[in-house]
Structure 1
Amino acid sequence: MNPYISIIIPAYNEAGKIKDTLENVIDIKEINEVVVVDDGSSDDTAKIASSVKSDKIKVFKLEKNSGKGYALNYGLKIAMKNADIIGFLDGDLGSSSNEVKKLIKPILDNEADVIIAKFPPAKKKGGLGFVKGLAKQSVLDMTGVELDATLSGQRIFKKEVLEKFDEIPFGYGVEVGMTIDILKKGYTIKEVLVNMTHSETGRDLKGFIHRGKQYYHIKKVLKEKQKEWR
């Protein structure tokens, strides 16, 4: 019997890309369910997601914007009921969401407990690498494992891994916090190169503010993890 695979897509103001993202995952035969959690969007994200014709799609709209970690936890409550394997995908992947197939195969082949998507280099200049460097070095320092895609939100998990979490960490440090916990609990992670693309932050004020928040949240999560695992 084939494992039941559920994909959770947290989405905030992704009206421009959510349809494309969904249309390119629903025809992947291994995927049984796609749980879209609209994180209090002010646009038509939920409405557009609901318009995509597929019995696989379940759309939930939160009353207010509560952050990616909250949306993932909400989606997990639904996905954990039936799923053997659970994936996280961002809502802004567009047609490149189809690349999730490359993450599903190695988890089905039991190559690791968690598969993380490794993106190609960014097309436009973003930050100065502080956030990515902090994330990579912190995971290495705390676990002894060197990973390149510690910030990637595109991940596939065996259910047993997620069952070890009372809840997903909140804020922009969610991926780093989870990666540390997963490795510390003795599970294995494999990175797989994909041709995924998503909205990139540039070297403008908005981009620097975003990376500043990321940096702050990652530092905060690291402090928590250092206390938990010392």
Structure 2
Amino acid sequence: MKISVVLPAKNEAGAIGDTILSIIRLNKVDEIIVVNDGSTDKTANIAEQAGAKVIHHPYSKGNGAAIKTGARNATGDIIIFMDADGQHDANDIKELIKKIEQGYDLVVGARQKGSQASIGRGIANKLYNHLATYMSDHPVEDLTSGFRAVRAAKFREFIYLLPNGFSYPTTSTMAFFRAGYSVSYVPIHAAKRIGKSHIHPVKDSVRFFIIIFKIATLYSPLKMFLPFAVLLFLLATGWYGYTLYEYQRFTNMSALLYTGSIMIFLMGLISEQITALMYKKED
């Protein structure tokens, strides 16, 4: 199998050269593609000098957009996605490939304890993992890791679903689960990045809530909406029982809670059908 490595890069001049050389030294990769996402430093020049094929975005489109560009241009049967900032150890590529050879369609490098950039992001990632495990009924060890190996043909099936921002790992993982493809994990240690992070605390917080809802809508919206609908239904029934016993009447609050329960259930049901249409493959 031919293997391609895709490195999305924006202003990663401090680490991109060493990252590419470490990949080349493995002698397992057939091509290295660096997607220069509107860098204003020497990222592109250093990448070309190190031996990578460089594809340019005329302006910054986002990490996810760079991933999609790389996937469209990769010629390998297997694509390895990894960061260009020095966080990922190229030697772990060998373990990812072993899992692919065992028959898995997506293999994710699961960051171990001490690999998170901050306590807040570590807590957020644990919440993502627990929610994704609940939604998919499969153990999810690291939902947001950007170090992963995929079968190229299957990954391209979901390119249209991927966002242009930083949540492409979440989207692709849940899409593979939804399609019934095999997903596995390899433990890795992520080092501290070289250079300045492109993550912003305020935007990251907003992104946290967006990802929570995206996890639900990408897999099974009804599984997310149903507990809330049941909770409102039970509250409505409990309140109705109380008011019937005390005042012998049906109150507006009970009607509101019952209505809310039905509306949330119907929203989940409709969302479930829309999600099913999203994954419908055309002949």
Scaled by the length of structure 1, what TM-score is found?
0.84
Cα RMSD after superposing both structures = 2.4
Once residues 86 and 109 of structure 2 are traced to their aligned partners in structure 1, the CA distance between those partners, rounded to angstroms, is 12
Alignment match, 2:147: 154
1:49 maps to 2:47:
yes
CA displacement at 1:219 relative to structure 2: 3.3
Once residues 63 and 83 of structure 2 are traced to their aligned partners in structure 1, the CA distance between those partners, rounded to angstroms, is 10
Once residues 109 and 93 of structure 1 are traced to their aligned partners in structure 2, the CA distance between those partners, rounded to angstroms, is 28
Identity %: 26
Alignment match, 2:125: 132
**Contact 2:8/2:84 (8 A) holds in 1:** yes
CA displacement at 1:224 relative to structure 2: 4.1
The structure 2 residue matched to 1:91, chosen from 74, 84, 92, is 84
Once residues 84 and 22 of structure 1 are traced to their aligned partners in structure 2, the CA distance between those partners, rounded to angstroms, is 20
Once residues 191 and 95 of structure 1 are traced to their aligned partners in structure 2, the CA distance between those partners, rounded to angstroms, is 15
**Contact 2:87/2:194 (8 A) holds in 1:** no
One-letter identity of the residue aligned with 1:138: L
The structure 2 residue matched to 1:118, chosen from 110, 119, 127, is 110
**CA displacement 1:176-223 (0-9 Å, x = unmatched):** 11111100100111110123424299xxxx763363244144135336
**Contact 1:127/1:211 (8 A) holds in 2:** no
Alignment match, 2:170: 176
Q: How does 1:3-14 map to 2 (within 5 A)?
A: 3-14=1-12
The count of aligned residue pairs is 218
Distance change (3 Å), C-alpha of 1:66 and 1:207: closer
One-letter identity of the residue aligned with 1:193: P
Larger mean Cα displacement after TM superposition, 127-136 or 34-43: 127-136
Once residues 142 and 150 of structure 1 are traced to their aligned partners in structure 2, the CA distance between those partners, rounded to angstroms, is 12
Q: Which runs of 5+ in 2 are unaligned?
A: 222-270, 277-283
**CA displacement 1:72-112 (0-9 Å, x = unmatched):** 11111111xx31111111111267223222211221232x2
One-letter identity of the residue aligned with 1:116: V
Alignment match, 1:142: 135
- Structure number with greater CO (CA < 8 Å, separation at least 6) is 1
**Contact 1:122/1:200 (8 A) holds in 2:** no
Once residues 208 and 87 of structure 2 are traced to their aligned partners in structure 1, the CA distance between those partners, rounded to angstroms, is 26
**Contact 1:114/1:189 (8 A) holds in 2:** yes
The structure 1 residue matched to 2:55, chosen from 54, 60, 70, is 60
The alignment partner of 1:16 has SS state of coil
- Whose helix proportion is higher, 1 or 2? 2
Once residues 113 and 90 of structure 2 are traced to their aligned partners in structure 1, the CA distance between those partners, rounded to angstroms, is 17
1:73 maps to 2:68:
yes
**Contact 1:120/1:193 (8 A) holds in 2:** yes
The alignment partner of 1:29 has SS state of coil
- Who wins on radius of gyration, i.e. which is larger? 2
Scaled by the length of structure 2, what TM-score is found?
0.69
Once residues 208 and 127 of structure 1 are traced to their aligned partners in structure 2, the CA distance between those partners, rounded to angstroms, is 12
